[in-house]
A and B are shown apart, each in its own frame.
Chain A
Amino acid sequence: MKNTTNRSRLGLVMLAFFIVMTLIPASAFALASERSATILEAGGGVTVRIAGGYASYPAYAGMRLHEGDTIETGEGAHAIIQVDDRKDRITLGEHGELFLSDLKSQGKAAITRFALLSGSAWSHVEPRTGHTAGERFEIRTGTAVLTAKGTYFMTIINKKTGETTMVVAAGIVSAASPTENESANRSQEENKTVFVYPAQQINLDSREVRELRAKVEFIDIKKLIDEIPPKVIESIVKDHEEIVKENEQWAEQLREQLEAGVMRPSELANFQIRDLTDLNKVTANLDNLVGNIAKQAIDAHKIEQKTIDEANKKVDDPLKKIDLSKVEQLDRTAGLDPEVEALKQAAQDGTQRLLEEQRQLLENQQRLASLLQKIEADKKKLDETNRKAAEDESSKAEERLKEQLDEAARKAYEENKRKNEQSSSGQSGTTPPATSSPSPGSPPSNIDKEETLVLRDAISDGKTVTASLYLGGFDQPDESIYAVEVQLLYDDSRLSYHGKNIVSPSSGTVFGALPNSLELLRQPPTWGENATLYYAAAVSGVAGSNAAPLFVADEKLLVSIPLQLMNTNDEGLVIQLAYFKVLDKDGNVLLDGSHLADDPIKVAVRPATESR
């Protein structure tokens, strides 16, 4: 065995118990106590599931949660909860699921543990001092155990990869891989825990991590803002004042340490300050951290200036207020330990597993392509009917409840119900500022453009005719597109579709730009003189579920269909648009072109402009 004790004495003691004879077996007094958390805000569709039960119901501000409860947020929804005794606060963004694993008391100490199952969570952990000094606040994900006290940090579970990203804004968070049963196999050089400092982040895509320190990197603000919803960003900006204060104290500590000759505050970190220049870089970054987050969020149209103005009101020192015109770019080199950076090796990450899963999904989609439409349609119908049945069930429950209540209680019930609905809709303010960019999910604009679907071009290069469909004008809140169906007709002796049945994703098209979409093209055998080509596209979210809204304000390419010329003669060739429908996710028709069956729109095939 090597002598590692000296290292541990240098202020690195993770776990030091002074055991005098009075020690009572620690486990004897842990209780699933009356500890609780309260929902401070619930905006949009937030539901709770009480402890181990299966029933779920809507959640509202003021609702009290206990150990074992689960809180879930739907699309565009958010929730803020606060641990009642310790005042730790968590903002849970949309599509989030948070399980209150442990809210226990152990003597005077509290055990506070959450499991983040999906979504993103901004945690403000109060300092622990005095008799609570030994306590930690913990968030577990599939790939990380994050423990902290007196910190502000963000935990994100990537929708596609399941990877955990944790970003620290203030304080120190200790991150570990959850698997402990293989510790015997680890060599002593490998640390099971790593400290993450302000303006740093860690990405854990799997539990199999060789060198945790090498997973720590400088904060990636663009990625952070891309991944977290507006309500969560607002929470960060609102905490600006406290974050600044916390970081000032820490910067002071670093200065003292540097003066005392300590360059690495811990060996369990990717962090080093060699001189004053380093320290100044780090301090400047800390001052600019929330400013950079706010700026990126404004640029990405995720928050509004008024959020920043409100946060600034709490800051006394004018120099510490967020001023977007003065935000300095963060220095990415500040504080990173060159030795640890050298440890980082070529991406040996877990994307392989993900690719394999993606491959399987695609293969199965292709194999079951003929069934897909029916599966989707069936599911949509079932989900819709079941949603109604559930609504029906709760209104029946309401009736039964009211029968049991006396007049006064009934009134109180109605009043509370009204309040709940108000508080929920009042805060569902995910209304991001308007923007002209027609990207998927971008918010509706003020001017309601006319909805269109056109066959714009049919261009021949002598071998292939490319027919292009465009779509636009879907810019109002109730015009989010879920699916599109189109039917084209053409002379089957002159043109034919020989391409793949599934259209490859393409960032330039309406559906191709979405990760979770499917586009199909099919030309079934025909008996008449016209061949029919069916095009169908859909967002793969399920009806009634939480697919991201899809708005297309300005006209955008829907699909380009390559049709093969049977011979080189393209004279007088015509393609007909004979049918289309654009649907929202509840099956409502947003734009109906079914009348075209009687009188199709004919588009003449033109030669490509360049010479042929």
Chain B
Amino acid sequence: MKRTISFLIASALSASLLAGTAAAAFLSNALVGDKGQIMMDVKSYAGSGDYGSANDMRLQAEFRHPSGLLVRGDGALIVADGDNHLLRAVTADGTESLAGVLLKKDAQGKLVGGLLDGPSNASLFQNPSGIAADAQGRLYVADTENHAIRKIGLDGSVTTIAGTGLLGRLDGPGSRATFHSPKDVAVAADGTVYVADTLNHVIRKITPAGEVVTLTAPSNRVVEAFPGVAVPAGDFADGDMAIAKFNEPSGLALDARGNLYVSDSGNHSIRYINFQSGKVTTVAGSAMRIGKGKSLYADLTRLYAEDGFADGKASDAAFRYPAGIAVTEEGGLVIADSLNHSIRYLQDGEVATLAGHSSQLSGEHDGADRLATFHRPTDVAIAPDGSIYVADSYNNKIRLLTPYRLPDLPEAPALKVVIGSGLVAFDAQPEMISSRVMVPVRAVAERLGYEVEYEDGEKLVTFTGADGSVLELRIDANSPYAPYLKQGRTYVPVRFMAEQLGLDVQWQQESRTVILRP
């Protein structure tokens, strides 16, 4: 009991001490909260959430498990709309189809894709995933279930630059080469296209001359996933490119030096291919913690390495099937951590969580960074202003992460409370009592949409939400949270009240402001 209380007090006191640690350089002027949390707001950017294909205004449009994202040179967001087998563009005006057409549905009612080159309105894809653009603005698409790499020209025409539709691992001219469920591509300045060839567990490249070359070592590992069931599996090895191994690599991003980050999904790690040195290393995740000569896999039955969730030093960090990745202007790496339902950030050897539930629950709540929820995010892309788009696949939505900004605040040294971007006006001022901010309860609660009632000699406070939800707060007169009456108003500790109402609470020492976010 004591512990809880002192914890809350400590967090309020130490706000200014902790601020500035973690990855504070992210989006240079982002606010950092009490526990080093970079303050981000999460909202729905496109998609009503319904599983469909309608083009419409951004938030009314529909997607079917969007799986890949790219911000085009003109700022438009390109979405690989997986189960619709389409490439779509999202702009301020709404959504439109970019390539691929809706052709048929199968017996299950699922749309059927296909492999067809031609003008954009006579082209077909099959579960397209990762997208990349070259310097001229041509788009490259990892057309996963066609086992092919496609290109969309400036005129919208679609061609296949490598892959025949057959699964396999043949190198050679693009027209003969084969892939196995490639999930991402990246294009270098010289026009080389890198491919995360997911179920071959290798990284390939397509030279500007159209030749496909395997860069890393294929996996020979096989597991008995269940008694009597043999399954081919990926593997892990760092070192020279030619001997390096991966386990379902599924995200790629080139950094400013032209080197390649790889999201090594099945190893729950982020790998880095340095083309200058020819070496592959692990830069974050469980594979960094493996002793020399030890295997990442506990036994012959494990398809994948041990997963988890942990922030902190990259070598201590843990992921669960990291998927799409993107490099920020400041050289950090944003990671769609798919089964932690979270968006992570790797910079300068530190991993932080930008958004996603603090217990990694799935959901589709918009709001403050660690209250917001996702459902299997599979890709990320950086907007020109630095905000982050997320392909929130199972929610059939594109979400947007932007740094939280304080509203304009009065200069006065008085204590202030803001809810989201709105300043709360008080007719009786908040007070600081032994490092706790006390506020007149009704002013704050009603602003939050709650009705407040008192019973039992003011000891039972009832909050009733607009949706009929009821929260009762019984206040122990002996506790440090004891409310008091002043000028006919009941004062309560704002942090305690707001946390119980499910809000994110942060204290900004500089402006003496309490920030509440749903």
Contacts and interface: CB of A to CB of B under 8 A. Distances in A.
B166 A54 contact: no
B103 A397 contact: no
A374 to B, nearest CB: 9
A87 interface: no
B299 to A, nearest CB: 12
Nearest to B378: A52
A21 to B, nearest CB: 5
Nearest to B319: A52
Nearest to B469: A15
A208 B321 contact: no
Contacts of B250: 54
A192 B165 contact: no
A132 interface: no
Interface stretch (B411-419, B432-440, B470-478): B470-478
B19 interface: no
Contact of B470 (A5, A50, A393): A5
Contacts of B357: 27
Contact of A5 (B4, B62, B464, B474): B464
Contact of B229 (A15, A179, A420): A420
Contacts of A106: 359
A397 B230 contact: yes
Given A142-B49, A162-B51, A367-B122, A386 B361 contact: no
B106 A547 contact: yes
Nearest to A514: B107
B151 interface: no
Given A5-B451, A115-B375, A19 B474 contact: yes
B165 A413 contact: no
A14 B359 contact: no
B500 interface: yes
A22 B323 CA distance: 39
Contacts of B215: none
Contacts of B101: 364, 368
Contact of B224 (A117, A192, A401): A401
Given A57-B229, A68-B339, A142 B107 contact: no
B168 A52 contact: no
Contact of A53 (B116, B228, B303, B446): B303
A350 B53 CA distance: 13
A42 B168 CA distance: 30
A503 to B, nearest CB: 16
B396 A375 contact: no
Nearest to A360: B102
Contact of A357 (B54, B107, B122): B54
With most chain B CB atoms within 10 A of its CB, the pick from A357, A396, A518 is A357
A181 B229 contact: no
Given A52-B321, A104-B361, A17 B231 contact: no
Nearest to A22: B1
Contacts of A416: 227-229
Contact of B231 (A57, A188, A542): A57
Interface stretch (A94-102, A240-248, A271-279, A443-451): A94-102
Given A115-B394, A394-B230, A404-B300, A180 B499 contact: no
Interface string B289-331: 0000000000010011001110000000000110100000000
Contact of B52 (A16, A162, A382, A394): A162
Contacts of B466: 183, 186, 188
A58 interface: yes
Interface in B136-156: 147
Contacts of A181: 43-44, 364-366
A1 B108 contact: no
Given A5-B464, A95-B107, A401-B224, A364 B102 contact: yes
A16 B471 contact: yes
Contacts of A13: 470
B51 A142 contact: yes
Band of interface residues on A: 35 or more
B104 interface: yes
A59 B231 CA distance: 12
Contacts of B453: 5
A54 B183 contact: yes
A25 interface: yes
B114 interface: yes
Interface in A80-119: 95, 99, 101-102, 104, 106, 111, 113, 115, 117-119
Contacts of A413: 224, 227-228, 230
A12 B222 contact: no
B181 interface: yes
Contact of A361 (B104, B147, B165): B104
Interface string A173-207: 00000111101101010011100000000000011
B227 A50 contact: no
B425 to A, nearest CB: 18
A53 B304 contact: yes
B364 A111 contact: no
Interface string A528-571: 00000000000111100111100000000000000000000000
A55 B230 CA distance: 12
Contacts of B124: 375
Interface string B323-345: 10000000000000011000000
Contact of A54 (B165, B181, B308): B181
B233 A55 contact: yes
Contacts of A68: 320-321, 339
A159 interface: yes
A218 interface: no
B307 A20 contact: no
Contacts of B81: none
B229 A353 contact: no
A393 B481 CA distance: 65
Contacts of A417: 228-229
A493 to B, nearest CB: 36
Contact of B468 (A14, A365, A545): A14
A472 B400 CA distance: 57
Interface in B391-444: 394, 396
A143 B304 contact: no
A583 B116 CA distance: 24
Contacts of B112: 379, 540, 542
B122 A368 contact: yes
B243 interface: no
Contact of B49 (A30, A179, A368, A545): A179
Interface in A357-404: 357, 360-361, 364-365, 367-368, 371, 375, 378-379, 382, 385-386, 389-390, 393-394, 396-398, 400-402, 404
Nearest to A352: B54
A24 interface: yes
Given A143-B50, A160-B109, A361-B104, A401 B226 contact: no
Contact of A206 (B50, B220, B229, B375): B50
A356 interface: yes
Given A53-B304, A162-B52, A548-B107, A394 B231 contact: yes
A412 interface: yes
A516 interface: yes
Contact of A102 (B43, B181, B362, B366): B362
Contact of B4 (A23, A31, A117, A367): A23
25 contacts: A3-B451, A15-B471, A17-B471, A25-B499, A27-B357, A50-B303, A51-B339, A54-B248, A55-B232, A58-B229, A102-B362, A111-B361, A179-B48, A186-B466, A208-B48, A350-B50, A360-B53, A361-B102, A365-B104, A379-B114, A394-B230, A415-B228, A516-B106, A540-B112, A541-B106
Given A4-B468, A58-B229, A540-B104, 17 more contacts: A1-B451, A3-B451, A8-B464, A17-B472, A18-B472, A53-B248, A95-B108, A183-B467, A364-B103, A371-B116, A379-B115, A416-B228, A417-B228, A419-B228, A516-B104, A539-B107, A547-B106
- Which 7 pairs from chain A and chain B are nearest by CB? A52-B321, A416-B228, A30-B359, A159-B109, A417-B228, A416-B227, A142-B51
